[in-house]
Structure 1
Amino acid sequence: MPSSQPLRKPQPTRRTLLGAGAAGAALALSYPRTWAAQDAEAEGLLRQGGVVAAFRHSLAPGTFDPPGFRLDDCRTQLNLNDAGRAQARSVGAWFRQRQLQPGKVLSSPWCRCVDSATLAFGGTPHVWAALGSPRGSPETTGSQHLQELRAALVAASARPGVFDVWFTHMFVLSDLAGSNTSSGEGLILRAGANGKADVLARLMIAA
């Protein structure tokens, strides 16, 4: 039996609208509260501390690294394009504008994550294998790495007034937090009572 409920059109995202030029920017003016609330929620949690802002690396076109890629040679990997580099810089600008300084910046060994972290926060991030992209099939994060990530999240959650930033991959965030992410999107995470990651807020910063 057909539903009597009217179909709702999907709400445009900030990236969709801002990427649509002048027309998109004009339409975006009708949605400021949603995004302002999202930013304010994430900012408030970061100021309280005891959380991790876990970002999927910025835009790097493609799906998988080429066969035979090497971690010690960025030329063999998928890398950020110009839009991805601009997006990473925008992430850093968002934090600086709010005078939010992470306690630690950690990155997957993959170049697209290291570059995202470096462009956002400067300096050299601490490279941590547990944040690395899964290899082989199926694309799931190893149990040992998940245990390390959960233990680090528990430790970070016990430090009020301090937050850490992680740069990692879609599959890692999915396995850790059970949530899909877009390129450059951040999840504000805290360890839950069951030892798993609770997603407290999301942060999508348009370049």
Structure 2
Amino acid sequence: MRHAEAPGIGDPAGWRLDDCATQRNLSENGRADARAMGERLRAERIDVRRVLSSPWCRCRDTAELLRVGRVDIEPTFGNAYVMSERRGALTEGGRAVLRAWRGPGVLLVVTHGENIAALTGHSPASGEIVVVEASADALRAIATLTVPARR
């Protein structure tokens, strides 16, 4: 899942991973979208058993607002756009985590658009979930779930 709406691109100059006030954060619409997506996952009885998140605040906040389970931070899903010099390592690490998941249930990862595009070839909208089928040699995007329309 790409984090919910957070206006802008990248992070402001001088951002720090340990200080959310220095990062690009979720808008009020983004917060509402994350809650709505969580409601959709529960309504559709998606059996989420594990939630992993990028350490960036907008991803952590999205994951928490979904309210589908405890959120664990996984650094390999860190922002490949901002950390472009580590993009290959982040992508390989993410691929390994996804391939290793055997369930039961669903692994939900909240990360960044750049990471998802590198892993699947699909560039998701804010808050979009890309359903991935993992095999020994590939990750394949097989479906998407979009944020429900605002009321």
Same structural fold, with TM-score higher than 0.5 when normalized by the shorter chain: yes
Q: 1:108–1:131: 8 Å Cα contact kept in structure 2?
A: yes
Q: 2:24 aligns with which of 65, 78, 81?
A: 78
Matched, 1:166 2:112: no
Question: How far apart, in 1, do the equivalents of 2:7 and 2:143 lie?
Answer: 26
Question: How far apart, in 2, do the equivalents of 1:136 and 1:198 lie?
Answer: 25
Match of 2:93 in 1: 148
Matched, 1:116 2:62: yes
1:29-48 map, 5 Å: none
1:1-207 map, 5 Å: 55-121=1-67, 124-134=70-80, 136=82, 139=84, 142-156=87-101, 158-159=102-103, 161-193=104-136, 195-206=137-148, 207=150
Shift of 1:196: 2.3
Match of 1:32 in 2: none
- The structure number with the bigger radius of gyration is 1
Shift of 1:145: 2.0
CA deviation vs aligned residue, 1:40-84 (integer Å, no higher than 9, x gap): xxxxxxxxxxxxxxx000000011201110111100000001100
Question: How far apart, in 2, do the equivalents of 1:56 and 1:117 lie?
Answer: 10
Uncovered stretches (5+) of structure 1, i.e. residues with no partner? 1-54
- SS at 1:147 equivalent: helix
Q: 1:141–1:171: 8 Å Cα contact kept in structure 2?
A: no
- SS at 2:98 equivalent: helix
TM-score for the superposition, normalised by structure 2: 0.89
CA deviation vs aligned residue, 1:167-202 (integer Å, no higher than 9, x gap): 000100111111111000110001145x22100101
- SS at 2:48 equivalent: coil
**Identical-residue share of aligned pairs (%):** 36
> Cα–Cα, structure 1 residues 140 and 203, in superposed 2: closer, same or farther, change >3 Å?
farther
Question: How far apart, in 2, do the equivalents of 1:100 and 1:135 lie?
Answer: 30
Q: 1:140–1:175: 8 Å Cα contact kept in structure 2?
A: no
Q: 1:58–1:184: 8 Å Cα contact kept in structure 2?
A: yes
Q: 1:176–1:196: 8 Å Cα contact kept in structure 2?
A: no
- SS at 2:107 equivalent: strand
Which residue identity is paired with 1:89? R
- SS at 1:126 equivalent: strand
CA deviation vs aligned residue, 1:57-113 (integer Å, no higher than 9, x gap): 000001120111011110000000110000000110001112323110000000000
TM-score for the superposition, normalised by structure 1: 0.66
Question: How far apart, in 1, do the equivalents of 2:64 and 2:45 lie?
Answer: 18
